[in-house]
Structure 1
Amino acid sequence: VFKALALLAATARAQLVVPPVEGIVAELKPEYVSAAAPVLGATGGSKDYFVFLQKFPLMPAFVFFHTEVLVCPRSGFTADEQSLLDQKISAMTDFAEIDEEWWKTRTADCIELGYGGALCEKECCSVGHDHMPLNKRHAVIGNANVNKKSLYIYGTGAFDGATAFHDACDKKC
């Protein structure tokens, strides 16, 4: 009983240590603020594009994360790579992590879409977008620890990242 009371007392004195939040804001890199919209992209069959999510811890705390969508054409992968991704998709519930050893050697040309805070007023002016190879360690914000990138497959889609940008951003709510 005394041990249980001592443990309870020690637990009551424990404090949650939260790192300072200064510098943790995900601010869009200046080159992406109000950047021209990508040229309207391609559409195809329902499985012509693989949709990935890349995740990075935010510096300096490493307890908060930033995520971005990558949309990559199926044609950017070999038949064996496509088969592996299709198998992961068929076996997953919501998403599946992709091993770093696999993705760090894949150079499929993807469209990166990421949100970062920016003081601008036009719709989607703070949605960074760019072409990038799947294996690139890059984020549209400056305080993402790109060396700690993790990658997840979310599924397939019928249109590329430029079309996704326009579908989300060309109309005001």
Structure 2
Amino acid sequence: MRCKYPIYLLLSLIVLSCQRKDQVVKRDNEPDIHILQGEDTEMNTAIENAQKSLYKFKEAIESRNPDYYNFALKERFNTAGSGGEHIWISEVQYSDDKFYGIVDGDPISTTEVKLGDTIEINPHNITDWIYIDKNIVKGGYTTRVLRKRMSQKEREQMDKENGFTIENE
């Protein structure tokens, strides 16, 4: 069985929309939260690309390929004032044409879910997907945007901590 904990470092990039651009909220013993504006064009394009390519995630999870692991989806949940909080859902399973998983981030603005909840994922609210194929990250479109905005030192630290290579970088 593969260790799933390194993926949590990569998935720690939680995104809120309709807030100030690129604000980072630091939390003790919790992943940082990146707060972005809803009109962040680069992030919105990443979300569109993730939605358009979701079929690749579905094909991978259905393949039951033993080289694929740590399947996760990011879902947008409503917040007060018509905003949204994007949270990773881990341990994703696919059954009866539906995705299920466990809320993998401690929400700060939404009351729709809480850390550890097992949920059915709303396919219309999926904003990213990710899985690992032999230590290569597949998907992770929004993570790539945030990674690109990091300093070289921050990227090197992230790589050192998670041990994965992001596809097409």
TM-score between the two structures when normalised by the length of structure 2: 0.25
Q: Which has the higher strand share?
A: 2
Q: Which has the higher contact order (CA 8 A, sep 6+)?
A: 1
**By percentage of residues, which structure has more helix?**
2
TM-score scaled by structure 1? 0.25
